[in-house]
Chain A
Amino acid sequence: MDVKYINPFLDSLMNIMPQLGISDLKRKSLSVKGKTIKSPGVLINVGIVGDLRGNVIYGTTVECAKKIASSMMMGMPVSELDEMAQSAISELTNMLTANASMGFSEEDISIDISTPTLMYGDFTATASSDKVICVEMLILGLPFEINIAIDRIS
């Protein structure tokens, strides 16, 4: 697991979120954790194959997910993380990962991504990689994390 895999995901977030009307983005911390990821409420899994192989697992709270979904739906109030809101957040992670894959291609790393799967509740994820890089952010003042569990294919 290489630290240089972080930037395409960060750049993508910084690039995509303002396009969705969200500019309140703060980088909080960067850490390396084991393969266990505790759900802050919502986790979205996106698979990756190509020169790199693994998963990116986005995590956030239900409150933050609802705020992002509301912003994505032109400010429509979102009181529940219903099917529409879940679909919006899934689409967001699809955009974020697709944009990151273009960032990787500029580094001559070619990857393809799967469709996202969103889960919510009180649960834990076990990642495919032994070491997971976790980028913690604050979006609209609320926690949002990118867990990167990818390995280079030799």
Chain B
Amino acid sequence: MKEIKVVVVDDSPFSIALLTDILTESGFQVIGDASSLEETIEVVGKLRPDVVTMDMTMPGTDGLECTRAVHAIDPNINVIIVSSMMDEEIVRKARKNHVAGYVQKPADKEELSLIINRIMADGELYKELEVLYYTVFKEGFVDSFNKLTKTLPEFAEKTIPSVELVSRGISVVMGIIGKYSGRLLFDLSYETAERLSTNVLKRAPKNSQEMFNVIGEIVNIIAGNACSVVNKKNKLFGLRVAPPTIFHGNSLNISKPDLESVTAVIAKSDFGEIYMSIGFQRGSSEWMSNI
């Protein structure tokens, strides 16, 4: 991995020396420091670091004003507030100013290093998920299906959905939330749902409500298992699922997913056709701090 370049902004020469030591010992390259707004603009503009550690209180300025100045130079520079002051109000303001993380002084070496590495690993991490997610969810589908029904679905070629979906009758939607957020969608006809739930219950469902509950629970199991597998591959993903909402009707259209990466597939099961679409996106990523 390439060396991570850091600029330290702090009005105290003691803090600059201390942070420079900690960062250097952790393998980061401290390429400069600044102790005022003017110096910050000059140093960051010239050196273009990957990360800036930012003190909150400085004479004549504050960490948030300096953060805005850094982002005016390059919005991709990650600013981490390192400050002795930390309360909800400051943290909220920091978030609004697109600060990437927050560490309280005295900064712990391990903690500061972990936060910087996490933030910098972001791009790589998303690529890891992109490569991983479809296979994991498909396997989750097959495994859960096999355990519940003792049958194996057959999959058509995967596709990238580019238009809205006209539902077969029943759509199960589950939000996925973690380092990246996403959505899992299952779509099937009433007939398929009825045959599938009859198989799982070993009797016909009492009413449509019971049938929806069974289908929702199956999708819940698939999503839960798949997310656990993803989290086991790399705990930084931290995926969790929101409970399923089931949509059903004769005229149901689902908008094209507004996701950075999404994959869909049609599975042919003993009970009928089941459509699965799963996708994720970057942005609104988890806030990193030691709070």
Residues of A at the B interface (CB closer than 8 Å) are 39, 43, 45-49, 53-55, 57, 83, 86-87, 90-91, 98, 102, 105-106, 112-129, 149
Residues of B at the A interface (CB closer than 8 Å) are 88, 92, 164, 167, 171, 173-178, 181-183, 185, 209, 212, 216, 240-259, 281, 284, 286
Tell me the bound Cα distance from A117 to B177 in angstroms: 14
Q: Name the distance in Å between B126's Cβ and chain A's nearest Cβ.
A: 15
Query: Which of A83, A112, A126 has a CB less than 8 Å from the CB of B246?
Result: A126
Tell me the bound Cα distance from A125 to B251 in angstroms: 12
Q: Determine the chain B residues whose CB is within 8 A of the CB of A121 once the complex forms.
A: 167, 249, 251-253
28 pairs, A vs B, C-beta closer than 8 Å: A46-B175, A47-B183, A49-B177, A53-B242, A83-B256, A86-B164, A87-B255, A87-B258, A90-B255, A90-B258, A112-B177, A112-B240, A112-B286, A113-B177, A113-B181, A114-B175, A114-B242, A115-B175, A115-B182, A117-B175, A122-B250, A123-B247, A123-B251, A125-B247, A126-B247, A126-B248, A128-B216, A129-B243
Q: Determine the chain B residues whose CB is within 8 A of the CB of A127 once the complex forms.
A: 245
Cβ of B251 and Cβ of A47 under 8 Å apart?
no
**With A39-B249, A47-B175, A122-B249 as contacts: A128 and B255 at CB distance below 8 Å:** no
Q: Determine the chain A residues whose CB is within 8 A of the CB of B250 once the complex forms.
A: 122-123
Top 10 A-B pairs ranked by shortest CB distance? Answer: A47-B175, A114-B175, A123-B249, A47-B242, A128-B243, A121-B251, A118-B255, A122-B251, A123-B252, A86-B255
Query: Which of A46, A57, A119, A149 has a CB less than 8 Å from the CB of B253?
Result: A119
Q: Determine the chain B residues whose CB is within 8 A of the CB of A90 once the complex forms.
A: 255, 258
Q: Determine the chain B residues whose CB is within 8 A of the CB of A112 once the complex forms.
A: 177-178, 181, 240, 286
Q: Name the distance in Å between A152's Cβ and chain B's nearest Cβ.
A: 13
**Pair count A-B, CB < 8 A:** 130
Please give me the residue from chain B that is nearest to A122 by CB atom: B251
Query: Which of B209, B245, B259 has a CB less than 8 Å from the CB of A45?
Result: B245
Tell me the bound Cα distance from A125 to B88 in angstroms: 37
Chain A interface, DSSP helix/strand/loop, else mixed: strand
Q: Determine the chain A residues whose CB is within 8 A of the CB of B243 once the complex forms.
A: 47, 53-55, 128-129
Please give me the residue from chain B that is nearest to A113 by CB atom: B177
Query: Which of B176, B256, B257, B281 has a CB less than 8 Å from the CB of A47?
Result: B176
Cβ of B174 and Cβ of A47 under 8 Å apart?
yes
Cβ of A49 and Cβ of B212 under 8 Å apart?
no
Cβ of A54 and Cβ of B242 under 8 Å apart?
yes
Q: Name the distance in Å between B87's Cβ and chain A's nearest Cβ.
A: 13
**With A45-B245, A98-B284 as contacts: A114 and B176 at CB distance below 8 Å:** yes
Q: Name the distance in Å between A114's Cβ and chain B's nearest Cβ.
A: 3
Q: Name the distance in Å between B236's Cβ and chain A's nearest Cβ.
A: 15
**With A48-B242, A118-B254, A121-B251 as contacts: A126 and B212 at CB distance below 8 Å:** yes
Tell me the bound Cα distance from A124 to B249 in angstroms: 6
Cβ of B245 and Cβ of A126 under 8 Å apart?
yes
Cβ of B252 and Cβ of A47 under 8 Å apart?
no
Q: Determine the chain A residues whose CB is within 8 A of the CB of B255 once the complex forms.
A: 83, 86-87, 90, 117-120
Please give me the residue from chain B that is nearest to A127 by CB atom: B245
Cβ of A117 and Cβ of B183 under 8 Å apart?
yes
Q: Name the distance in Å between B174's Cβ and chain A's nearest Cβ.
A: 7
Q: Name the distance in Å between B46's Cβ and chain A's nearest Cβ.
A: 36
Cβ of B171 and Cβ of A55 under 8 Å apart?
no
Q: Determine the chain A residues whose CB is within 8 A of the CB of B216 once the complex forms.
A: 126, 128
Known: A115-B175, A124-B247. 18 other contacts (CB 8 A): A47-B242, A48-B242, A49-B240, A55-B242, A87-B255, A90-B258, A98-B284, A102-B92, A114-B177, A114-B181, A115-B181, A115-B257, A115-B281, A117-B254, A117-B255, A121-B249, A126-B247, A129-B243
